[in-house]
Amino acid sequence: MAKNKKQHIGLIFGGNSSEHDVSKRSAHNIFDAMDKDKYQVSLFLMTKSGYILGNKDSARVFNGEPEDEVAKEALDRLDQKNPLAPIINLSEVANIDVFFPIIHGNLGEDGTIQGLLRLLQKPYVGTGVLGSAMSFDKDITKKILQLAGVTTTRYEVVTPMTSEQFTYQQLSDELGETLFVKPANQGSSVGIHKVENEEDYREGIRDAFRYDSKVLVEEAIEGPEELEISVLGNHHPIVSKVGAIKVPKSDAFYTYDNKFVDASHVEFDVPVDIPASLSEEITKMGLATYQALGLKGMARIDYLVSQDGKPYVSEVNTLPGFTNISLYPQLFAASGISYTELIDRLIQLAIEEYERQSKILYDFKPLDPKDQVIDNKK
């Protein structure tokens, strides 16, 4: 790239998940935080039906035009019989230097968009295909963390094939009277239910199956403190200070409405005043989690801390929110990294990881058999 030339960033947002509108808010904040002297930005909105719009149409929505009307006009112009129609507008990507996907939920955090961008041979912000997929699936995340020795809550997995084998009584005998039912592949507390009897359990399972065919039934930590850290980096990540979320006692847990609809009753303590030993343990667990899942670029890691001070990794978010109340940028701001600098670093990390992968993929030379030495004396 020529000296002083602006980097061309492709900001992908929206998506067909329940977090569509959250993604749009994140995209606005990222766009506003970008240094326009450094970056030229093209916008790519993924509609609720899973079609990616081009920059002009995406900008219309971004600037306030009704999305449904703009999307209908754009899709009417497409040959929807073309199997490439959902991504045909990405033909505009030739001059994009780096993609910044901020699609929350499925297609964005599950490795799908990362796989597409990798096929396009473009750098992109955030974790790769495998790390994204493992982190998005709460069951797989827990299994990996258990192998890495990171403490998480106990749980059972329920699927449509096994749902009749589990009763509330059986699960409560194993995991405790209060249980959380949650889709394995979903974010922003969508489809989560706190249950304490058979009727609520069955209703929770039915609702969770609306979002995923794999559901976790998880033990509850009594009176937990909800803490979070932000992580930034590739092979040498840094960790922010610890923040806390304080939810009103009238709410069972940190719900979707708390996060994105009405957070007026939620308190954020950034950074939170906790014992140094707990902060160190949470930081250590966070780095171990980041490494075990092979994360890159960024992640927000959520914890539940029991009344006796024991931390449990609750959730890993590889494309955390960038809304006005999102803790990922807030935590780094409290740690001395401004919103604009955070965006700069994420873009640079994307370029570095792309260059590293390209060197491995395209510069790799297999060993010549005659260069291999076998010691037969042993």
Q: Is 317 annotated as a binding residue?
A: yes
Has 326 been annotated as catalytic? yes
Peptide bond before residue 86 is cis, with ω within 30 degrees of 0 = no
Q: Strand 225-233 relative to strand 238-239: parallel, antiparallel, unpaired?
A: antiparallel
| Active-site choice (17, 18, 42, 188) | 188
Exposed / middle / buried, residue 234 (Cβ in 10 Å: 0-12, 13-18, 19+)? middle
Residue of 328, 240, 323, 326 whose CA lies nearest to 21: 323
Q: Strand 39-46 relative to strand 7-14: parallel, antiparallel, unpaired?
A: parallel
Give SS3 for 229: strand
Q: Is 302 annotated as a binding residue?
A: yes
Q: What is the DSSP letter of 313?
A: E
Q: Give me the amino acid identity at 337.
A: I
Residue found under tokens 């403190």: 225
Q: Give the integer Cα–Cα distance in Å for 22 and 18.
A: 9
Has 18 been annotated as catalytic? no
| Active-site choice (58, 240, 326, 335) | 326
Are the C-beta atoms of residues 331 and 241 closer than 8 Å to each other?
A: yes
Return the exposure string of 276-298: e unless at least 16 CB atoms fall within 10 Å of the residue's CB, then b.
eebbebbbebbbebbebbebbbb
Q: Give the integer Cα–Cα distance in Å for 106 and 235.
A: 26
Q: Structure tokens of 225? A: 């403190």
Has 277 been annotated as catalytic? no
Question: What are the residue numbers of the active site?
Answer: 19, 188, 326
Annotated binding residues for Mg(2+)? 302, 315, 317
